[in-house]
């Protein structure tokens, strides 16, 4: 009986196992591939939840948006010693300027290449006095992310310095080795302080605001403020890879592409710019300006498309009484200058002059 019972047990066990295996094989196609990847399914659900949550978080907490607009936490190149510009640039010193209580900004001053030999070993006072040597002065206002030591900014300073310009390149508050926290109004305060500092030392030298990308909005903000509040007209404004206003810029930059079809995109993301006190109204500012205005844009700019530069040009041209003061220069796609590398075009100094 034991043998028989054992045999029966074995037989019963085999029958039961075969039934389950057959049943499993029958069920497998019906469960689908996601059924066998619970971890992947969880990750996909989490990504979907994040995608849906971001616009609402931006609307509730606009400070999140300021981080993405300013990108000051991306302080590349990460190991550059901003106090030692000579490691990257000739004829350059680093200086620090208090712009308001508790805020000091870092600045590089590059003198014209013709003064390079004389500049060696000189102290800051000599560089300050050199500002009155009749060479034009560019106050360079960089875009978001990185510091004044970023490679394309170094390239700009080399090119324009060799062409006979002084360059004063600052890191706004919250960038590089500057103290404080970034804000649109704070940037205006910083640049006004630098303009006043340079004007007090420049004699009859021309002072030009040169803004790149985000910096174009800062350039026109300051130029407008000088004109409206002091009756002072800056000698010229150059806008490289500009936009009409920060709302339009956000609607066109690649990072927002995944949200452009999202229900409520304009309300949740674009309108939240104003809640974060970010406007950068180039289109409104140029209506007020009367100084020479040069707009530069590359046809292959994939960050801020060239139609924004053209719209800004048309707005300025309609507003200016003297139309000859407004110029637009576009660079063909075959040059490959994109958003950041108009400064690598050797013809740039001639075009500006």
| Element counts in the chain: helices (H) and strands (E) | 14, 8
Catalytic residue among 109, 212, 297, 339: 339
105 three-state secondary structure? strand
Catalytic residue among 115, 178, 202, 213: 213
201 three-state secondary structure? coil
Cα angle: 38, vertex 42, 47; to 5 degrees? 150
* Per-residue tokens: 256: 């927002």
Query: How many Å apart are CA 52 and CA 85, to the nearest integer?
Result: 44
Catalytic residue among 109, 301, 340, 343: 301
Q: Residue holding tokens 């576009």? A: 330
| Strand ranges (E), the chain | 92-100, 103-110, 137-141, 166-170, 207-212, 236-240, 293-298, 326-331
Please give the full DSSP string across 135-182, using - where no structure is assigned: --EEEEE--SSS-TTSHHHHHHHHHHHHTT-EEEEEPPTTSTT--S--
Cα R_g (the chain), whole angstroms:
29
Q: How far is CA 344 from CA 113, 238, 305, in A?
A: 17, 16, 19
Q: Decide if 151 is catalytic.
A: no
Query: How many Å apart are CA 232 and CA 301, to the nearest integer?
Result: 33
Q: How far is CA 178 from CA 98, 104, 196, 223, 276, in A?
A: 10, 6, 18, 22, 22
Q: Decide if 81 is catalytic.
A: no
Are 80 and 148 within 8 A, CB to CB?
no
Q: Decide if 339 is catalytic.
A: yes
For the annotated catalytic residues, the residue numbers are 213, 301, 339
């Amino acid at each position: 009986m034991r043998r028989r019972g054992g045999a029966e047990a074995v037989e019963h066990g085999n029958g039961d196992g075969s039934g389950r295996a057959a049943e499993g094989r029958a069920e497998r196609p019906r469960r689908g591939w996601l059924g066998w990847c619970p971890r992947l399914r969880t990750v996909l659900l989490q990504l979907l939840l994040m995608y849906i949550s971001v616009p609402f978080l931006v609307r509730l907490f606009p400070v999140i948006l300021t981080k993405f607009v300013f990108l000051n936490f991306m302080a590349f190149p990460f190991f550059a010693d901003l106090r030692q510009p000579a490691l990257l640039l000739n004829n350059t010193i680093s200086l620090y300027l208090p712009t308001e209580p508790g805020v000091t900004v870092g600045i590089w001053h590059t003198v014209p290449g013709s003064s390079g030999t004389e500049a060696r070993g000189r102290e800051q006072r000599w560089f300050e006095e050199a500002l009155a040597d009749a060479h034009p002065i560019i106050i360079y206002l960089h875009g978001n992310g990185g510091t004044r030591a970023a490679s394309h900014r170094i390239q700009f300073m080399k090119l324009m310095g060799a062409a006979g310009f002084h360059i004063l390149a600052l890191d706004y508050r919250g960038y590089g080795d500057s103290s404080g926290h970034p804000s649109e109004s704070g940037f205006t305060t910083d640049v006004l302080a630098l303009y006043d500092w340079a004007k007090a030392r420049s004699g009859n030298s021309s002072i030009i605001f040169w803004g790149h990308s985000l910096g174009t909005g800062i350039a026109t903000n300051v130029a407008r403020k000088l004109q409206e509040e002091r009756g002072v007209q800056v000698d010229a404004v150059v806008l490289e890879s500009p936009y009409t206003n920060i709302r339009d810029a956000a609607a066109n930059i690649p990072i927002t592409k995944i949200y452009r079809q999202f229900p409520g995109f304009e309300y949740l993301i674009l309108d939240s710019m104003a809640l974060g006190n970010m406007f950068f109204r180039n289109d409104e500012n140029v209506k007020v300006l009367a100084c020479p205005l040069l707009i530069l844009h590359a046809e292959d700019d994939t960050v801020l498309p060239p139609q924004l530069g053209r719209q800004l040009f048309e707005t300025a041209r309609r507003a200016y009484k003297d139309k000859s003061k407004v110029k637009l220069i576009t660079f063909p796609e075959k040059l490959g200058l994109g958003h950041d590398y108009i400064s690598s075009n050797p013809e740039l100094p001639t075009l500006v002059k």
